[in-house]
Chain A
């Protein structure tokens, strides 16, 4: 019962703060709304038994990625300033966005109607279990991600140095 309460409360928090990301006039505050969404999602991950992923999510997103974003938004100097309503949105794209959302919702309804979903089982995504799987069955993809991050670092350095050359 308390689990259901937690789920519905944090689902509402996640959706409301996600709407804040899209509609808030101040970029810096829109970003802080996303931080709230990330925390709510971490609660959902924990409820689903993904303990390690929830913690990694908090550290990587709330801790690193969004702080990086905050730096960039503040560096452009207009982060705390409100963007006027007429230059905030591209209203013409509201229609495709609505269409895609309706398609997604339709697909979801078809999926729910068409197949019987089992009840959720309890999984134990502790660091130990995840680590064991990561370094046995998923070793190759794991090594590839290290290559990907290395390439990301190179690309960022190359881009940042471009106009100095």
Chain B
């Protein structure tokens, strides 16, 4: 079997790439995509933990994360579509209403 640490390293790598995407991309939709990437990196970690302990609880947690992610995507995309309708752009530099 592959050592558990390799799964953790893969998971942290994907999570870091996700953080990079959230922070440096300017397109809101790509920021949302990077969030999906981070959620799935965390899922990989949960499932590796499940295999490490020989129990199914980690897999169920990953399942619940997936459900929550689906709900998050619905609302996130609805907000992105509204923003696009209002501003005609999905660039974060054009969206300044929340700036203090």
Contacts and interface: CB of A to CB of B under 8 A. Distances in A.
Interface of A: 3-4, 7, 11, 14-15, 18-19, 21-22, 27, 30-31, 34, 37-38, 41, 44-45, 47-50, 52-53, 56-57, 60-61, 64-65, 68-69, 72-73, 75-76, 83, 87-91, 93-94, 96-97, 100-101, 104-105, 108, 111-112, 117-123, 125, 129-130, 133-134, 138, 141, 145, 148-149, 151-153, 155-156, 159-160, 162-163
B29 A72 contact: yes
B51 A123 contact: yes
Q: Binding site of A, secondary structure by majority: helix, strand, loop or mixed?
A: helix
Contacts of B73: 65, 68-69
Nearest to A24: B30
B79 A45 contact: no
8 contacts: A11-B10, A15-B10, A48-B7, A48-B48, A53-B63, A57-B43, A68-B73, A88-B26
Contacts of A90: 23-26, 92
Contacts of A3: 1-2
Interface of B: 1-10, 12-21, 23-27, 29-30, 32-34, 36-37, 40, 43-44, 47-48, 50-57, 59-60, 62-64, 66-75, 77-82, 84-85, 90-93
Contact of A112 (B5, B43, B44): B5
Contacts of B63: 52-53, 56, 130, 134
Contacts of B34: 21-22
Given A21-B30, A159-B75, A53 B70 contact: no
Contacts of A121: 51-54
Q: 6 closest A-B pairs (Cβ-Cβ)?
A: A121-B54, A152-B71, A93-B23, A101-B16, A22-B21, A159-B78
A148 B82 contact: no
Q: Binding site of B, secondary structure by majority: helix, strand, loop or mixed?
A: helix
Contact of B29 (A73, A117, A162): A73
B47 A48 contact: yes
Given A88-B25, A121-B54, A65 B69 contact: yes
Given A18-B18, A48-B47, A87 B30 contact: no
A51 to B, nearest CB: 9
